[in-house]
Structure 1
Amino acid sequence: MLIIAINYLKAIEADVSVEELASYYSEAVEQIEYPNRLIPQGAKRNLSDLKEGFLKGKTLLASQTYDIQKSYVVENTVILETIWTAKLAVALGQIPIGGEIKAYFAQFIEFEDGKIIRQRTYDCFEPF
């Protein structure tokens, strides 16, 4: 499961097709992003929402990286402590196009039959 989770983040970094990214998810996937600086109300997403969000992200971000600091596997869950850095394709607040934003993630990725069935993300963004 840890290898799948790492490959999943590498696929996002590589800006793969939406179909390739969707291959990591169960049809019944649920992603919860808890309130943060970019999404103050938080979000709950299904597979369709994840595909749409991934495509939207391609227009907002020039690139992104996930630097995994620590990882744990507990039963069917991979827990990652990750530093996320993104180069912007659009201006955001005081950050111009080409500038970077950074966040510190705690991600809980649950698997069923080798696919992501549930993901919870706690994001802590640096000021922007």
Structure 2
Amino acid sequence: MSDNLNQIAEDFIKILQSRNSAEELIRFYHQDIEQIEFPNTLTKNKAVRNLEDLKLASERGKKVLQKEEYEIIKSYSFGNTVIIEAIWTGTLAIPIGNIPIGGQMKAYFAQFYEFKDNKIIKQRNYDCFEPFN
């Protein structure tokens, strides 16, 4: 089971970086998804999102980024949980801090995915961004 869930998590990451719309991501989420993004440079306070919130966040992200890439460094799986350690690089569509349009942001992610019925029901993101201000 863990190998299957690990593959689903990796497929999800692949879609994240190549998606054209939020609809491509929806098939990975359980209808009762709860995603938590812990405070980081971009998100000052803990954010808790449901399915509708994730759709909106995905659409907003596509307006901010020209492109995003995930390099999976390591994945761990046990039971119904997969942990992905990745390096994220985003190419900006708008300026952020001292980074101009077309410039890149970099972050180091640890993402915890809990599954129910082969869908992501809980996701926790710990995102560490390199300085850009």
Assess same fold via TM > 0.5: yes
What does residue range 83-122 of structure 1 map to in structure 2 within 5 Å?
83-122=87-126
Match of 2:74 among 30, 52, 70: 70
The CA RMSD over aligned residues, in Å, is: 0.7
Unaligned 5+ runs, structure 1: none
Q: Separation in 2 of the partners of 1:3 and 1:16?
A: 21
Letter in 1 for 2:7: I
- TM (norm. structure 1) is 0.98
Q: How many residues align?
A: 128
SS at match of 1:21: helix
Partner of 2:54: 50
Partner of 2:28: 24
Per-residue deviation at 1:115?
Answer: 0.3
Per-residue deviation at 1:20?
Answer: 1.8
SS at match of 1:96: coil
Unaligned 5+ runs, structure 2: none
- Out of 17-26 and 113-122, give the one that drifted further: 17-26
Letter in 1 for 2:118: G
